């Protein structure tokens, strides 16, 4: 009976040490608890357009005069029981959108964006009480959505046949400080929506908002309590027994929140 001898192959070169698991990973992001923030209301901000048709007509007029419209929106993240929540506006008890808006044609992108965030969320009358206009830490651009035509649908890419898109919407990560006062117009609601609720839920929130969990998956989070102590880190210690993340109404219209399926793009 023949015997087969196995000889280990060896190389004259030193072994290659693999990169650590978190190589090229973005720096961890610190999330503060929802209870650290103060929420209020301010004067109503009526929608500029009474209908979707009117909104698209205004976009067409803007494009004719100024070219492609630029829109910036903010992804503001805090946590509740060590689960990330996104601060989001709800309009007419059915439509959801991130804070932000379209920029004026001559606006610098970041400074104009900060002004739009102030319009939506800055408390009135508190700028002189230790707060400054445009006091937002605008982080990375996490996504770009493109509107190829004068229609409601947007794409996370420019279709091959489109050379002149009508609008570019950017979603920026807004790094919230330890504490902040936020006020929402009386005709809107400010919600804290858990990633659990957004994930794979385009039927309710639309493709842009339901994509946010994917956009944030690149980050490791550090969860801090009200006293500034780190209480969990990604992957986290888990929520209290029986806790299920759910949307919380923080401020705004005091009518009952309805389970509408509408989205606003």
Backbone φ and ψ for 117, nearest 5 degrees, come out as: -65, -40
- pTM summary value: 0.82
Q: What is the pLDDT of residue 5?
A: 56
- What distance, in Å, lies between the first and last C-alpha atoms of the chain? 76
CA atoms within 13 A on the CB side of 196: 13
Amino acid 116: pLDDT: 95
Domain of 42: which CATH number? 3.90.79.10
Q: Is residue 89 assigned to a domain? A: yes
Q: Is residue 35 part of a domain?
A: yes
260 within domain boundaries: no
Q: How far is CA 43 from CA 101, 127, 183, 222, in A?
A: 17, 16, 10, 35
Q: What is the pLDDT along the chain (265 residues), one digit of tens a residue?
A: 555 555 555 666 777 777 676 667 777 899 999 999 999 999 998 888 878 899 999 999 999 999 999 999 999 999 999 999 999 999 887 789 999 999 999 999 999 999 999 999 998 865 545 567 778 999 999 999 999 999 999 999 999 999 999 999 999 999 999 999 999 999 999 999 999 999 999 999 999 999 999 999 999 899 999 999 988 887 655 556 666 777 878 887 754 444 333 444 4
What's the pLDDT at 186?
Answer: 92
Question: Is there a domain that residue 17 lies in?
Answer: no
Note down the domain range covering 225.
29-252
Residue 257 lies in a domain: no
Count of domains in the chain? 1
pLDDT value of position 61: 94
């Amino acid at each position: 009976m023949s015997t087969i001898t196995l000889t280990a192959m060896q190389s004259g070169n030193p072994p290659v040490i693999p990169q650590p698991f978190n190589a090229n990973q973005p720096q961890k992001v610190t999330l503060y608890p929802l209870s650290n923030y103060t929420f209020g209301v301010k004067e109503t901000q009526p929608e500029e357009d009474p209908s979707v048709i009117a909104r698209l007509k205004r976009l067409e007029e803007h494009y004719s005069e100024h070219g492609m419209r630029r829109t910036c929106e903010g992804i503001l993240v805090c946590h509740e029981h060590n689960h990330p929540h996104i601060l989001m506006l709800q309009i007419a008890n059915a439509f959801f959108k991130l804070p932000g808006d379209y920029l004026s044609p001559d606006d610098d992108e970041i400074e104009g964006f900060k002004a739009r965030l102030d319009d939506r969320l800055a408390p009135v009358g508190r700028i002189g009480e230790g707060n400054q206009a445009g006091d937002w830490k605008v982080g990375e651009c996490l996504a770009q959505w493109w509107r190829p035509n004068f229609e409601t649908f947007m794409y996370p890419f420019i279709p091959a046949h489109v050379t002149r898109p009508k609008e570019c919407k950017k979603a920026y990560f807004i790094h919230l400080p330890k504490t902040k006062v936020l006020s929402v117009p009386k005709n809107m609601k400010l919600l804290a929506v858990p990633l659990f609720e957004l994930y794979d839920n385009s039927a309710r929130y639309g493709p842009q908002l339901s994509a946010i969990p994917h956009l944030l998956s690149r980050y490791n989070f550090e969860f801090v309590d009200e006293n500034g102590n780190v209480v969990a880190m990604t992957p986290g210690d888990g929520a209290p027994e029986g806790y299920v993340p759910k949307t919380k109404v923080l401020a705004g219209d005091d009518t009952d929140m309805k389970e509408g399926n509408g989205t606003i793009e």
